[in-house]
Amino acid sequence: MFLFLGALLALFAAGILYQWVGEKRDSRGCPAPGRIIAGLHVYQTGRGEPPVILEAGIAASSLNWRLVQEPLSRETTVASYDRAGFAWSPASAAPRTLPNLVEELRRMLEASGLPGPYVVVGHSFGGLLLRHFAVAYPRMVKGMVLVDPLEPCEWYPVSEEQAWRLGKGVMLARRGATLARMGVVRLALDLLISGSTVLPKFLAKATSGRGSVVPDRIVGEIRKLPPEVWPAVRAHWCLPRSFLTMASYLERLPEYCAAPLDSSALRNIPLTVISAQRNSPKVIEAHRRTAEASSQGVHVIAEDSGHWVHLDRPDIVLDAIRAVSRT
């Protein structure tokens, strides 16, 4: 028994040391490409007007916009950023409520020195957040592109099955934070990215009961990005705060979707809503209605695309941004 406990403690200590060494290595190998502005990491490229602001999905970061930001920055100023707690942005003690998220974006934009109004582009949850931003600060928004945006009807009213799924997601995210502290997440991601799958699948099944479905899907999306950003994505998802921040978002998802949303804020701005072809008819119809809220609204179906349209079909997103910017 004592030998077993000693071996367990040694394994635990080795995991913590592996995580500590990995974090030190990542801080040197994956430095922030941008700068911290009003507490948020902002990656700004290009020159010209109007500035384009890229808002990521619910647990994504500025890195997810590289296939859009790099070509677009040859034409105008582009800024992607990390919401607090993700990627290079430090966590915030303020609750992750919609008003707080909107205010953090406003403060960052005002402190950035970028002249408004802006063309704002949001993916998934980022699209819902930008709609609330447009309600609060209409003069700061010149135009908007919503990339397969989250629609309130998707999670409100929340069904029993959805509530169970969210509860499971929150539990797994918190468990992920614990495993990250112990170096388990780092080991699994290191092996997955290097091409090994046996141990990561075993770890995923042992910790979540779902085998390798989730990590395989995440890594599949990562591999659509330029290879040079893979180490940074892996480094960020080895941090406990990434999982804890994701848990706080998942807990509040029905709250986000229940918040009153004034569509009149879209009435007089250029707006393009892009739906993934593989989306449900219910969501595509909701996207069409969102586009119709603007007198200059356009609804586009992204063929051969899943939810991450900006990774599957960046050409469609780029065309939409250019069209809105010219209007």
Same domain? 309 vs 174: no
Kindly give, in sequence order, each residue whose CB lies less than 8 Å from that of residue 208, ignoring residues fewer than 6 positions away.
172, 175, 214
The first and second tokens of residue 224, run together, are: 């659509």
- Classify 61 as helix, strand or coil: coil
Instruction: Give the model's pLDDT for residue 219.
Output: 59
DSSP character at residue 51: -
Range of the domain at 174: 160-254
| Residue type present at position 127 | G
Instruction: Using CB atoms within 10 Å of the CB of residue 244, give its burial: 0 to 12 exposed, 13 to 18 middle, 19+ buried.
Output: middle
3-state SS class at 147:
strand
| Run of H or E including 122 | strand 118-123
Question: Looking at beta carbons, which pairs linking 189-193 to residues 24 or more positions away fall under 8 Å?
Answer: 189/215, 189/219, 189/234, 189/237, 189/238, 190/234, 192/216, 192/219, 193/219, 193/222, 193/230, 193/234
What is the model's pLDDT at position 198? 45
Q: Are residues 45 and 131 in the same domain?
A: yes
Quick one: pLDDT at residue 227?
A: 87
Instruction: Give which of 123, 122, 133, 110 is closest to 266, Cα–Cα.
Output: 133
CA atoms of 279 and 211, how far apart (whole Å): 25
Question: What 3-state DSSP class applies to 313?
Answer: coil
Same-domain pairing of 54 and 74:
yes
Question: Which CATH number covers residue 106?
Answer: 3.40.50.1820
The tens digit of pLDDT for each residue in 217-241 reads 555 667 788 889 988 988 998 999 9
Domain boundary at 205, 234, 254, which? 254
Most confident of 24-33, 135-144, 165-174, 232-241: 135-144
62 and 147, same structural domain? yes
pLDDT, tens only, 37-75: 999 999 999 999 999 999 999 999 999 999 999 999 999
> Where is average pLDDT lowest: 151-155, 162-166, 202-206, 287-291?
202-206
Per-residue pLDDT of 92-132, as tens digits, reads 999 999 999 999 999 999 999 999 999 999 999 999 999 99
The predicted pLDDT at position 203 comes to 47
Q: Is the pTM of this model over 0.85?
A: yes
Predicted local confidence at residue 102, as pLDDT:
98
Residues 176 and 200 in one domain: yes
Nearest CA to 311 out of 66, 106, 77 is that of: 66
Q: Which of 234, 254, 274 is the last residue of a domain?
A: 254
